[in-house]
Structure formats: C-alpha cells, structure tokens
C-alpha cells in the first residue's frame, strides 16, 4: 500500500517493495520471428492506390478540359496533379514491394527455424508471412 504525504512526498508503507513514484514498464523484446500483426499495410496500400488513381484521372481530365477551352493554367495544373499522383503511386508500389520482400524473408526464416526445431506453430507463422509478403509484392 502506498500513501501520499503533503502532496509531494511519497512513501511506502510496505517495507518489502521498492517504490517508484511513476509507472515502470520493462522493455519488451522484439524478435524477428514474431508473427504478422495485421493486414493494415496491405489495406493502406490499396487506399493509396485508389487515391492516386483518382487524382491521376482528375488531373488528366483537368488537363484535357484546359487544353480544350484554351486555358493553359488549368491544363498545367491538371498535368501537375496527374504527374504528382503517378509519382506517389510509384513510391507506394516500391514501399509495398519492399515490405513484401521483408515479410517473405521473415516467413522463410520462420519456416526454416520451425522446421529445424520441430516447432509447427512457428513453421505455420512462416507460411503465413510468406503468403502475406507475396500478396504485398503483388498489390
């Protein structure tokens, strides 16, 4: 039991426990053999792809309309928007591919380690990570 005295001094009424006047959380270990946490990255990449595709089409439409009505400012803005969307999509594709390669490598390590140690659970996680990596590389 802990008591507070005069709003600034903490003291421990139980002499067996060391008291810290703050919450202490030990660090957790992160292993390269940890299972995949979610499909957030895959869904995020799909959202980025959709957004970039929409912006590319809108930019192309602005460019076409600007050229048709003789408005070079609108045509230039449309071309810039389309180019920006295409570049953003290429960057998102490269990021997703890199994450996919990482998950595939992690999965292969998990499969090999699980196979060598007889840990079927780890081997199954490895299969799941390999599948997740392949999906990420192809999305």
Average pLDDT, the chain: 78
pLDDT tens digits, one per residue of 33-61: 444 445 566 677 778 888 889 999 999 99
How many contiguous H segments (helices) and E segments (strands) does the chain have?
3, 2
Confidence of residue 135 (pLDDT cuts 50, 70, 90): confident
Stretch 97-112: mean pLDDT = 90
Mean pLDDT lowest for which of 22-36, 44-58, 70-84, 94-108? 22-36
Contacts of 42 (CB under 8 A, 6+ apart): 96, 132, 135, 136, 139
Confidence of residue 92 (pLDDT cuts 50, 70, 90): confident
DSSP letter for each residue of 60-113: HHHHHHHHHHT-HHHHHHHHHHHHHHHHHHHHHHHHHHHHHHHHHHHHHHHHHH
Contacts of 67 (CB under 8 A, 6+ apart): 75
pTM of the model: 0.58
**Spatial contact of 113 and 122, defined as CB atoms under 8 Å apart:** yes
């Amino acid at each position: 039991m802990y008591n507070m005295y005069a709003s600034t001094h903490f003291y421990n009424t139980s002499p067996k426990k060391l008291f810290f006047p703050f919450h202490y959380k030990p660090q957790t270990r992160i292993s390269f053999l940890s299972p995949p946490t979610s499909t957030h990255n895959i869904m995020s990449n799909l959202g980025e792809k959709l957004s970039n595709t929409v912006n590319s089409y809108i930019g192309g439409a602005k460019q076409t309309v600007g050229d048709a009505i003789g408005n070079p400012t609108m045509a230039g803005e449309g071309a810039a928007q389309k180019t920006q969307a295409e570049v953003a999509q290429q960057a998102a594709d490269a990021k997703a591919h890199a994450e996919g390669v990482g998950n595939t490598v992690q999965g292969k390590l998990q499969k090999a380690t699980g196979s060598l140690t007889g840990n079927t659970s780890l081997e199954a996680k490895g299969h799941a990570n390999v599948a997740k990596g392949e999906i990420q590389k192809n999305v």
